[in-house]
């Protein structure tokens, strides 16, 4: 079984936040691939949805989607509980989450790297495993460390939403590659489908140099 986790904070007040792009990713997957309706599972402290994906060659892969309801900083509790119940190996867990150290719309897969200050990933590393596969979704950096918390808990600006929607759609459309375990090809295909400039996340539109 493949466990796909989206990180975010529960509650309607957080729905449009940068921090909740992981929730949006798994919601888009559930809709596109006709997974079961979301159900609250108190034993997991999460909302879950199950279904099936297919690899590029048509092989079926059973999958479980999860949205931890513990708030971001305690996401590891839900992931660890599901992991134990279903005997899921870390290599079969993919976590979609926001990444401030990447420009808006950029995308990278990673395994076994530093949590880089992301409290949801830090919790998963502490309570579940450091070897989960991470789908890092760029949301940009506010420029100052002191502004990070308010930035990730703010909604995307209307001008940013087309890039976010394009990234979400690409993540969904390329999913058969992720189901096959080919993270490198999945990353490449997501960026092919939703190209985004390789700008500095702290300064996405630097001023032009004088000539």
Q: Greatest CA separation found in the chain?
A: 63
Are 124 and 75 in contact, with CB atoms under 8 Å apart? yes
Global confidence as pTM: 0.94
Q: Is 177 left (phi over 0), alpha (psi -120 to 50) or beta?
A: alpha
pLDDT above 80 (res 205):
no
Answer yes or no: 118 catalytic: no
What tokens appear for 144 in the block? Answer: 């100052």
Mean pLDDT of the chain: 94
* Full set of structural domains in the chain with CATH: 2-193 (3.40.50.1470)
pLDDT category of residue 112 using cuts at 50, 70 and 90: confident
Annotated catalytic residue within 19, 47, 97, 118 = 19
With 90 as the cut, is the pLDDT of residue 207 above it? no
pLDDT in tens, 115-158: 888 999 999 999 999 999 999 999 999 989 899 999 999 999 99
Q: Token pair of 31, please?
A: 């809709």
Over residues 161-202, the pLDDT tens digits come to 999 999 999 999 999 999 999 999 999 999 999 999 887 777
């Amino acid at each position: 079984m493949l466990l796909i986790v989206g990180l975010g904070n529960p509650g309607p007040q957080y729905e449009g936040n940068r921090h909740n792009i992981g929730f949006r990713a798994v919601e888009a997957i559930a809709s596109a691939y006709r997974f079961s309706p979301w159900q609250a599972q108190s034993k997991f402290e999460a909302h879950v949805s199950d279904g099936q994906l297919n690899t590029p060659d048509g092989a079926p892969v059973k999958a479980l989607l999860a949205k931890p309801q513990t708030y971001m900083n305690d996401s590891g509790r839900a992931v660890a509980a599901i992991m134990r119940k279903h005997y899921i190996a870390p290599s079969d867990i993919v976590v979609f989450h926001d990444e401030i150290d990447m420009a808006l719309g950029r995308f990278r897969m990673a395994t076994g790297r530093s949590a880089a200050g992301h409290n949801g990933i830090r919790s998963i590393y502490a309570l579940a495993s450091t070897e989960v596969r991470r789908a890092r979704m760029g949301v940009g950096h506010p420029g100052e460390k002191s502004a990070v918390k308010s930035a990730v808990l703010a909604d995307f600006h209307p001008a940013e939403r087309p890039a976010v929607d394009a990234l979400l759609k690409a993540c969904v459309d390329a999913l058969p590659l992720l189901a096959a375990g080919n993270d490198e090809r999945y990353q490449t295909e997501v960026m092919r489908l939703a190209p985004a400039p390789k700008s500095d996340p702290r300064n996405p539109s630097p001023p032009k140099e004088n000539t």
